[in-house]
Each structure stands twice: as structure tokens, then as C-alpha cells.
């Protein structure tokens, strides 16, 4: 086994011997380094090591600081860490980070729903009437921070 | 059970409708390497996957792909919103329009409806995970090609995001294959199919 120290964050260790006739992908070594949540969302990954853009199609900056994008960023980090944990179940530190983000995302979802309407059908129970059908639905321009 | 969330994973906000772009981006909705096929492939492969950590990878990625399916639909929908017959003609979109008007249909750019023949569920751990790695690469290339063709920054921004997700998913399926290999006989992983031979 190659020592962890020999690999940088864009690489992962491989077994010194591996079976023939089988694909062998290096394991990601850890959940660090990681982007800040807003940068992660716009890049499409939490992990600089996996940030492999096509040509010069690189994300510029981050999205505007609005409640919807803040919530999307929290949910995105939660999702990205979950996929990482699926193949790194023993990474206790990443699990703790995931729990923190999951809490923040749930709290953010509650706050967002109160102000802008339910994100899940169950959240409609916060309201005085059946507002679940209210526009805009997520595929509309206006639902995504578009204006005009 | 699936619970719907009334928001996208990443914002789709396309200022300028442009049916010309919708004509080929729709391939990632119902084309051979599109998001529907991705989701159905992974979610369907779960039932014969013997190892809990790999059922999880297939479930979590298969579910995320459903979110991407909705994002691609949102792109097509916004690119074709309020379009006039003149715009349909100018975009050369008559062939699509005659069958679907401004609806979003599951088809490849060349017009073929979505076909389960574009995906595989082999019921074998190595074959299915290796298929999934190939599938992520094919989807990534399709997004590369869309980036080559698209000239609207609002579209490019979302496609770039979706493409990067394919890179991350490829890594996870590669790691899943490593985890599967660890559970199998290292001298000959082909001696059995743990999804079938007990």
C-alpha cells in the first residue's frame, strides 16, 4: 500500500498488487481539503481533488447571496458528504461534518419554507391553507432567482 | 418511497429563450446517456446488489440523478417558454414541435424516444458497477459536447455543474468497485457472481 503521504489531494492510494482483469480506482483519501459551501455549489463538487472542469469552463465566483442559493449550498454539501460517506463509512470526522450540515440544512429549510412557501408537501402544515400548489414550481425561471 | 422537494439542486435561470439549444440539450433528458437512463440504471441495479454499502451508493446516486433529470427538463422548458411558430421555424424545430408542441418529451437529440436498451441491469456485481463507471463517462462526454455547442452563459453554467456531478459519481462508483473487490476472492473475482451464487 502506498503511504498516504506520497499522494496529494488530487491523488489516492492504490494497492501495491491488485487483481488482473478488474478496474481499480484510487480511493479518495479524505473529505479534506474541501471548498466553502457556496463555492462547492457553484463548482459542482465539495472536493478540490475532484474538481476537473472541461477546457476553460470554470465556475466564476459564487452565486448571489440569496436565501434560496444559501439553502441549495447547505443541501449540496450534505448530499456530497453523503456520497463520500457511502464509500468511506469509517470516516468519523466526515460523519460529524455531515451531521452539522444536515442540521443547518433542516433549519434552513424550515426558515425558508416559512417565508417563501413549502419545499416539502409536509411543510404545508405550517400554513393556514393548502398552499402546496402555489407558483412558481422549480422548473420556472422565476423560481430560481430569475427576474422579469 | 420518494419525497418530492419543490426546489432544484442548482438554479436554472435562463434569461433568453432559445429553442435551437433545447433541440440538442433534450438528449440529456431522454437520450442514450441522459439522466433518466442514469437514474433507472442505478435504481434498478439495487435489487440484485448483495452488499449494503453498494445498495446505498446506487440508491443515493440514482436519486440525485432524478434531480438532474428535473434540471435538464427545466433547461428545455425555459429555452422554449413563450416560443412562437416563427421561432420554431427559425430554430428548425418543426419536427419536434409537430409531435410535442412546447412539451418536454423523453427523447434523444435525433428524435428517438427513451429506450431501456440504452441501459443495462446485468445482475452481476462487477458487470453492473463497471457499466456504471462507463455510463458516468458517457454522460460526461455528452455534457462536454453540449458545452462545445452552447453559446448562452446561463445554459453553460448549469451544464458545467451537471457535468462535474458525473466526475464525482464516477469516482464513487470506482470506489464502490474497490469495496466490492475487497469482499470477493482476490485470486479470482470471476469465480462467482455474489449477486447470484450463494
Whole-number pLDDT of residue A148: 43
**CA proximity to A109, closest of B7, B184, B172, B14:** B7
**A128/chain B closest Cα distance in angstroms:** 19
Whole-number pLDDT of residue A1: 44
CA angle B90, B68, B57 (to 5 degrees): 155
Mean predicted confidence (pLDDT) in A107-116:
97
- Domain of B175, CATH number, reads 1.20.1260.10
Map out the domains of chain A as residue ranges.
1-30, 31-144
Mean pLDDT by 10 residues, chain B (198 residues): 96 97 98 98 98 98 98 98 97 97 98 98 98 98 98 98 98 97 88 91
Whole-number pLDDT of residue A2: 45
pTM for the structure as a whole: 0.97
Residue B84 inside a domain? The answer is: yes
Residue B166 inside a domain? The answer is: yes
Written as one string, the DSSP assignment of chain A is: ---GGGS-TT-----SS--SSS--PPPP--S-S---HHHHHHHT-S-GGG---STT----S-----HHHHHHHHHHHHHHHHHHHHH-TT-HHHHHHHHHHHHHHHHHHHHHHHHH--SSGGGGGGSSS--TTPSPPTTSGGGGT---
Query: Closest residue of A to B62, CA-based?
Result: A83
Whole-number pLDDT of residue A60: 81
Residue B14 inside a domain? The answer is: no
Q: Which chain B residues are Cβ-neighbours of A79 within 8 angstroms?
A: 9, 60, 64
Q: Which chain A residues are Cβ-neighbours of B78 within 8 angstroms?
A: 139-141
Residue B157 inside a domain? The answer is: yes
Residue B137 inside a domain? The answer is: no
Whole-number pLDDT of residue B187: 82
pLDDT per position as a tens digit, B126-148 = 999 999 999 999 999 999 999 99
Residue B119 inside a domain? The answer is: no
Query: What are the cell numbers at B116?
Result: 431501456
Domain that holds residue B77: 19-109+143-183
Residue B33 inside a domain? The answer is: yes
The tally of domains found in chain B comes to 1
As for the ipTM of the complex, it is 0.97
pLDDT per position as a tens digit, A37-83 = 999 999 999 999 999 999 999 998 899 999 999 999 999 999 999 99
Q: Is the dihedral of CA A109, A113, A119, A124 positive or negative?
A: positive
Q: What are φ and ψ of residue A102, in 5° steps?
A: -60, -40
Query: Closest residue of B to A75, CA-based?
Result: B9
- Check residue A21 and give left, alpha or beta (phi > 0: left; psi -120 to 50: alpha): left
Amino acid at each position: 500500500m502506498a503511504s498516504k503521504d506520497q499522494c496529494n489531494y488530487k491523488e489516492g492510494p492504490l494497492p501495491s498488487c491488485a487483481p488482473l482483469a478488474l478496474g481499480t480506482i484510487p480511493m479518495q483519501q479524505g473529505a479534506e481539503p474541501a471548498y466553502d459551501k457556496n463555492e462547492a455549489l457553484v463548482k459542482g463538487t465539495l472536493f478540490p481533488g475532484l474538481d476537473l472542469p472541461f477546457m476553460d469552463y470554470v465556475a466564476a465566483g459564487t452565486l448571489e447571496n440569496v436565501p434560496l442559493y444559501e439553502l441549495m449550498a447547505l443541501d449540496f454539501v450534505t448530499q456530497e458528504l453523503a456520497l463520500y460517506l457511502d464509500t468511506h463509512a469509517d470516516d468519523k470526522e466526515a460523519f460529524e461534518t455531515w451531521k452539522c450540515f444536515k442540521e443547518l440544512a433542516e433549519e434552513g429549510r424550515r426558515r425558508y419554507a416559512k417565508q417563501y412557501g413549502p419545499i416539502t408537501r409536509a411543510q404545508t402544515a405550517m400554513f393556514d391553507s393548502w398552499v402546496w400548489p402555489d407558483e412558481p414550481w422549480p422548473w420556472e425561471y422565476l423560481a430560481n432567482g430569475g427576474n422579469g | 418511497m420518494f419525497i418530492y422537494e419543490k426546489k432544484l439542486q442548482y438554479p436554472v435561470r435562463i434569461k433568453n429563450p432559445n429553442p435551437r439549444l433545447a433541440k440538442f440539450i433534450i438528449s440529456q433528458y431522454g437520450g442514450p446517456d441522459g439522466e433518466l437512463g442514469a437514474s433507472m440504471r442505478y435504481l434498478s441495479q439495487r435489487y440484485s446488489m448483495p452488499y449494503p454499502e453498494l445498495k446505498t451508493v446506487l440508491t443515493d446516486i440514482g436519486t440525485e440523478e432524478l434531480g438532474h433529470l428535473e434540471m435538464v427538463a427545466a433547461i428545455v422548458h425555459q429555452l422554449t417558454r413563450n416560443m412562437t411558430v416563427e421561432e420554431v421555424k427559425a430554430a428548425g424545430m418543426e419536427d419536434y414541435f409537430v409531435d410535442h408542441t412546447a412539451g418536454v418529451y423523453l427523447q434523444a437529440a435525433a428524435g428517438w424516444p427513451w429506450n431501456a436498451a440504452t441501459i443495462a441491469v446485468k445482475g452481476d456485481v462487477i458487470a453492473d458497477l463497471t457499466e456504471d463507471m462507463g455510463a458516468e463517462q458517457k454522460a460526461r462526454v455528452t455534457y462536454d459536447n453540449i458545452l462545445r455547442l452552447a453559446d448562452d452563459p446561463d445554459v453553460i453554467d448549469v451544464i458545467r455543474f451537471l457535468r462535474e456531478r458525473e466526475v464525482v459519481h464516477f469516482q464513487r462508483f470506482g470506489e464502490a468497485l474497490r469495496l466490492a473487490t475487497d469482499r470477493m476472492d482476490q485470486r479470482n473475482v470471476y469465480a462467482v457472481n455474489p449477486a447470484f451464487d450463494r
